[in-house]
Amino acid sequence: MSLRHHPKAYGSVAVAIAFIAGIFVTLGFKDFYPDLERRYQQNRRNNKRTRKPTTSDSDMRRRSSLFWGPVQLEDREKKLELQLPPSAGVVEGIEGCIGNTPLVEIKSLSDATGRTILAKVEFLNGAGNSPKDRVALNMIQVAEEDGLLSPGRGDTIYEGTVGSTGISLAALARAKGYKAHICMPNDQSLEKSDLLHHLGATVERVPVAPITSPDHFVNLARRRAQEHTDSNEDSSRGFFANQFESHSNWQAHFKTTGPEIFYQTSGHVDAFVAGAGTGGTIAGVAKYLKEEAKLANLKIVLADPQGSGLYNKVRHGVMYSSTEKEGTRRRQQVDTIVEGIGINRITENFEAGRDLISDAVKVTDEQACKMARWLVENDGIFAGSSSSVNCVAAVVTALSLPEGSQIVTVLCDSGTRHLSKFWKQVAKMGLEDEPKPESLTELLGIKQDS
């Protein structure tokens, strides 16, 4: 007798077939939709990195889209919920250690001002230990995409720098199959040029000269790169990184530093304070937070050392420093002990974010030295000169904002690169022997608004 004469048996077989088919459909779902599976797994990994799963999250993962309507592929690229890279585990190469730096509260500064002062610890970037790691990596990647650099061809990266960018480029150049040739002014700390040598870079320490001179360290690096490319010795090329004018600079901070700050603060930032050498950090972060993240009320504040003209450019629209007066200038570049920030011209990178800068704070060498010692005594932070300038400006900015405000600044590099110059000056001032001061505002000579 045929199966169709037994309705109950027929029904049981049908259910069994449907159940088995359901299993095969479920198991084979990722094979039928490989792009969906790839996106799902990527989002699943990212979610694990950025937040702890909730009960509702777990429940939703278990619910099949077969029971909840058609599959909806959501475009998450336009959202501001940053998916950070893993903070632990295996990464590929030294470039995998760049970015996702901690944002820490500097407790003594918060206590002294009644506002929360946070610092992005950029000296924990893993290649050259500064924010220039981000810039160097992005410049190399863009140059490779444009065919200006090719691994294994014998190419050399040329750059004019006061130190940090050159160190980052030298480290990454070796890692990615290139050579590095660094031109730097001879008034910079010896630690930087020594480190460059140990990283395998060719270093030219040249006399300080104005930017209009063909022997200015930046112009020299440009010329060396062109001479390399024009030579017919082999097929290798010279690439001039051009950190001051290349848009790859500010774009690196727009793509990484800005989003990280937004994520780490959950969008609660009342002011961002940073100095400017090339201007890439302040411009890139400002453009992300103000234009992309839409933090309309955010204040962008320039921290400027003595001798730099940017303070007056922001405040008064005129590029001028009192040290430019005839007979008063001691140095050709910027009349300050601070290295890495301060400049007397507008770069392409600074121009990219100049209209977004709300205010500027002038910081003296004396204030920077005193802040550096304060951070050691109170927070165990051994900061370099530009980091100290940023922290002074962050304090001044904090005192101009309502209580409860949150300010973010940058710890660019540690004091280990400033022993022979900046920290030697700290010692000369007797700051390491004096008793611990009780008031930060009195130490820095800052008048607090009543």
> Is residue 188 located within the same domain as residue 223?
yes
Q: What is the mean pLDDT of residues 427-437?
A: 86
> Is residue 311 located within the same domain as residue 402?
yes
Residue 87 pLDDT greater than 70, yes or no: no
> Is residue 325 located within the same domain as residue 195?
no
Angle at 415 between CA 411 and CA 419, to 5 degrees: 155
> Is residue 176 located within the same domain as residue 318?
no
What confidence tens digit (pLDDT) does each residue in 293-330 have? 999 999 999 999 999 999 999 999 998 766 555 444 44
Residue finishing a domain among 240, 262, 297: 240
Give the CATH number for residue 229: 3.40.50.1100
Residue finishing a domain among 206, 240, 274: 240
Residue 26 pLDDT greater than 90, yes or no: no
Distances (CA, A) of 416 to 15, 123, 349, 397: 73, 11, 27, 27
pLDDT at 60: 38
- List residues with catalytic annotation: 132
> Is residue 307 located within the same domain as residue 225?
no
Residue 42 pLDDT greater than 80, yes or no: no
Tell me if 26 is assigned to some domain: no
Q: Is 394 exposed, middle or buried (0-12, 13-18, 19+ CB in 10 A)?
A: buried
Tally of domains within the chain:
2
Residue 110 falls in which region: left (phi positive, over 0), alpha (psi -120 to 50) or beta:
alpha
> Is residue 105 located within the same domain as residue 135?
no
Q: Are 373 and 428 in contact (CB under 8 A)?
A: no
Tell me if 175 is assigned to some domain: yes
Residue type, 145: E
Tell me if 79 is assigned to some domain: no
> Is residue 196 located within the same domain as residue 117?
no
> What's the predicted TM-score (pTM) here?
0.79
> Is residue 277 located within the same domain as residue 215?
no
Residue 47 pLDDT greater than 80, yes or no: no
Residue 442 pLDDT greater than 60, yes or no: yes
Tokens at 36, concatenated:
């969906």
Binning pLDDT at 50, 70 and 90, where does residue 438 land?
A: confident
Tell me if 13 is assigned to some domain: no
> Is residue 318 located within the same domain as residue 231?
no
Tell me if 24 is assigned to some domain: no
pLDDT at 230: 94
pLDDT at 53: 39
- Provide CB contacts within 8 A for 373, sequence distance 6+: 426, 431, 432
pLDDT at 306: 95
Tell me if 74 is assigned to some domain: no
> Is residue 215 located within the same domain as residue 266?
no
φ and ψ at residue 431, rounded to 5 degrees: -70, -25
Binning pLDDT at 50, 70 and 90, where does residue 334 land?
A: low
Q: What is the mean pLDDT of residues 68-96?
A: 61
> Is residue 200 located within the same domain as residue 278?
no
pLDDT at 328: 44
Compute the half-sphere exposure of residue 301: CA atoms within 13 Å on the CB side of its CA.
29
247 or 63, greater pLDDT: 247
Tell me if 45 is assigned to some domain: no
447 or 38, greater pLDDT: 447
Residue finishing a domain among 204, 220, 240: 240
- Provide CB contacts within 8 A for 277, sequence distance 6+: 162, 340, 341, 342, 343, 386
88 or 307, greater pLDDT: 307
Tell me if 15 is assigned to some domain: no
Look over the chain and give the mean of its residue pLDDT values, rounded to a whole number: 84
Distances (CA, A) of 200 to 144, 195, 203, 263: 21, 9, 9, 37
> Is residue 195 located within the same domain as residue 308?
no
Segments forming the whole domain that contains residue 412:
95-126+247-444
Residue 3 pLDDT greater than 70, yes or no: no
